Each structure stands twice: as C-alpha cells, then as structure tokens.
Structure 1
Amino acid sequence: MDHITIRPAGPADIPTVLALFDEAVAWLVSQGRTGQWGDQPWSTRPKTVALVEKYLTTGSAWIAEIDGEAAGTLTLTDAPGAYIAPVDEPEQYIHLLTARNGTGAGAALLAHAAEETRSQGISLLRVDCYAGGDGKLVAFYERNGFTRTEAFVEKDGTWPGQVLARRV
C-alpha cells in the first residue's frame, strides 16, 4: 500500500487544491453525479476559486500526499460557514475536503483533523457535506467516526446537506 503523508498547506498550494477539486468534479461527472459540485471545474468558477483562496489564507490547511503527489486536502477553522449555526463550545470545523477515491487519503485527512483538534484541547470536530444522491458521502463520514446532527438545505432549496460531528 502507498504511504500517505500529510503536510501543511498555504497560499502557494492554491493551484494544487484547485486541481484536486477539478479532478474530483471530473470523477463525479463521469459517475453521473453532478448534484454535489456541478459539472464545471472549480478552477474556472470565480466563487469557488475565491473560496479556496479564503480558506488557504485564513484556515489551517493540509494536503495528503502519496509518494510525493497530492492526493487530498482539507482545511480546519474554528467555525462553520455562514449557512450553518455555530455551537456554544469551541470547535474545529472541516472545510474543503476532497481526496482521490480509493486511496485512503480522505480517511487519513480526517484522522489528522481529529488529532489536530485534540492537540488544541478542543473536543468537537464538525463537518457538513452534500447529503443527496446515493448518500455515500454521509456514509463515508460515518465510517470515519462522525455522527449525523442536523440536516439542512442550501442554494435556494436545491442542495441537501448534512452536518456531522465527532467527539475527539
């Protein structure tokens, strides 16, 4: 099995992170699954480029590498996006998670996020994700120790989402 390493990421990694999301969108499109992120590459959409720039300059960003090649990414912050209600305790919130399917990079990044959260003396790690389609994304988080908390609908009622939490 390939060795996964996780390293800090920053503004210089914006092109790498956008390439990972472009790859993920292409894979989802090839599966006929466009509900999550649409059918256009993130690197061609100003709003998604701005989102990546924001989180890689203000959050704690990470890249998983396999044999020196980027295979996944996630960013941690101390709060969710504006569309999710904050909680009344310290938390770390996962943003911008994507990983190559079947590599183990996604699970490795989630384990790393849990350790980072724990090392800061924080016990709550949360994430939100697309909850439509076949439900595989929600199931992925559940397999990695997260529990469903609240469902929500975003983007004018067309994007079903799920907030999940994990105590670390």
Structure 2
Amino acid sequence: MEITIREGGPDDVPAILGMLDSSVAWLVGQGRTEQWGTTPLSENSKTAESVVHYKDKGVTYIAEADRVPAATLTLTDAPGAYLAHLPPPGEPERYIHWLASDRRFRGHGVGSALLAHAAEETRRAGVSLLRVDCYAGADGKLVRYYEGNGFTRTDTYTFRNDWPGQVLARRL
C-alpha cells in the first residue's frame, strides 16, 4: 500500500469528518465510548466548526493510502483554548489537532506516517517542539500510541470535569 501525504483544503472537511466518524464507530465497537461518545462526530456542529477552525489556523494534512484519504491531522502554532490553564512551553511550538484515521486502514501506518510528516514540517520550520494532547483514560492505548511515535508525557489535564487528558511532546 502506497502512502502519500498532501495538504488538505476546504473540500476535505467531509472526508475528515468521515474519518472522525469511523474512529467513533471503531471505539464504540471496542466498548471504548468514554473518549468521543457514541454519536458520529459529524452530527455535532461544534466538531465541524473545530475542524474548520484549526484548518484555518494552520495546515491540514491528509494521508492517502493508494490515493484514498485514510488519515488526517492539522498542525498549528498553539494548543486549543481548553489548555489555556496549563503553563506555556516558553518556546515556539507546533501543535497537532484532530489526528484521526479511517479505521479501514488501521494497522497500515497512516497515522504514524502523518506524525512523522508533522515532525518533519516542524523541523523544516525551524521549530524544535511538537506537541499533542489526547484522551488518557480507559486502557491508556492512545497515550502509548503517541509514545511509540516518539512523544513523551508532559502535562495532564481534565476536560469538562471528567475527561482525562494527556499532553505529550516530541523534541526535534
């Protein structure tokens, strides 16, 4: 399977929302509903607004597997406002938002390819800090996934009083 990465645009928003929906369905099938719930994220207007907001603030990348959109992430200069209570890193950074994949491509390395691409783009910009945050509850698999891609745990946080989150960083 050939993986290529390209910049995403406004026309990719439906595909991105489809990847998020695929992730929700997969999580539900695994009995892991605490992360993103049970309802397709495309049905939540705030999710679509968030996807567009970060796309407009940064650069969205789409990983294609044999020319089919398979995974996405958006790279910006800062985390979301929901992390404003955490101390800033004190240096320029790039921040990953909305990493998701179409679960039909699970195990093919599309997410890892995007993370490697984000690291290279960050390095190319002369920035040495790449960060991301994620759900840190349940079995911790998502945190370990990022660790397996070169990230280390930094700050923990709680979103809306009951959603455990983890910020991770990668030095480049």
- In the other structure, the counterpart of 1:132 is 137
1:158 counterpart (130, 154, 162):
162
- The answer to whether 1:76 aligns with 2:75 is yes
- In the other structure, the counterpart of 2:148 is 143
Residue range with higher mean Cα deviation, 47-56 or 15-24: 47-56
- The one-character-per-residue Cα deviations of 1:69-112 (angstroms, maximum 9, x if unpaired) are 11100000000011223321000000010123212111000000
- In the other structure, the counterpart of 2:114 is 109
Amino acid at match of 2:165: G
8 Å contact from structure 1 (residues 10, 57) kept in 2? no
- In the other structure, the counterpart of 1:20 is 19
User: What value does the CA root-mean-square deviation take over the aligned residues?
Assistant: 0.9
- The answer to whether 1:96 aligns with 2:95 is no
- The one-character-per-residue Cα deviations of 1:136-168 (angstroms, maximum 9, x if unpaired) are 00000000000000111001x110000000001
8 Å contact from structure 1 (residues 14, 56) kept in 2? no
Amino acid at match of 1:39: T
Give me the TM-score of the superposition, normalised by structure 1. 0.96
The alpha carbon displacement at 1:121 in A equals 0.2
Number of residues of Structure 1 aligned to a counterpart in Structure 2: 166
Cα distance in 2 between the residues matched to 1:35 and 1:103: 25
- The answer to whether 1:55 aligns with 2:57 is no
Amino acid at match of 1:109: L
Could you list the runs of 5+ residues in structure 2 that have no partner in the other structure? none
Residue range with higher mean Cα deviation, 52-61 or 69-78: 52-61
8 Å contact from structure 1 (residues 10, 61) kept in 2? yes
Cα distance in 1 between the residues matched to 2:30 and 2:98: 21
Show structure 1 runs of 4+ deviating over 6 A. Answer: none
- In the other structure, the counterpart of 2:43 is 44
The alpha carbon displacement at 1:58 in A equals 2.3
8 Å contact from structure 1 (residues 92, 125) kept in 2? yes
- In the other structure, the counterpart of 1:9 is 8
Give me the TM-score of the superposition, normalised by structure 2. 0.94
